[in-house]
Amino acid sequence: MHKLGLLLCCCLLVSCDFFTNRKVSREEIVREEMKSINWNDVDRYPLFESCDETSSRAEQRICFQKEFVNHFYKTLSNHQLVVRRDIEDTVKVHLLIDNTGKISLISVNKSKETERQLPALDGLMELTVSRLPKVYPALKRDIPVSTRVVMPVVLRVN
């Protein structure tokens, strides 16, 4: 009986670790949360005022693209472009939209033929970007964030 009591006491002393709670530090919680966030995607795309913020992410992206392209074509229609040969090219416009909604033109990727025939295209893109209406920045967890956007613009000039 004495041995049984001693064995029971030893078991209780060893099993005390099962009843203690492990204290998790705030830094560890934040570190784990940061690992779970997909930093390459946003919760809401940048939006023009005419776009619906309650629509799906795909619809928000499409609305942003349409508004940008419509503005670009409107800017182009105010300028007389003269080319020697027909141009059909997809120009990729790289934009940075900062966390305040300010848009900056990073670069314009186009074919060498488009560059040769339309050397003023970069200037027209700058003009378009400077005349864009108010843009609301992208959101990640309800916090405004900077985003890079690549806009494909199809050029058909004849």
CA distance 54 to 51: 9
Arithmetic mean of pLDDT, 30-41: 63
Considering the entire predicted model, what is its pTM? 0.69
Q: What pLDDT, on the 0 to 100 scale, is given for residue 3?
A: 65
Q: CA Rg, the chain, in Å?
A: 29
Phi (first) and psi of residue 87, to 5 degrees: -120, 130
Phi (first) and psi of residue 26, to 5 degrees: -60, -40
Question: Domains in the chain, ordered, with CATH?
Answer: 47-157 (3.30.1150)
Could you tell me the CA-to-CA distances from 51 to 10, 25, 66, 100, 146 in Å, in that order? 69, 42, 10, 17, 19
DSSP conformational letter for 21? P
Average pLDDT of the chain to the nearest whole number: 80
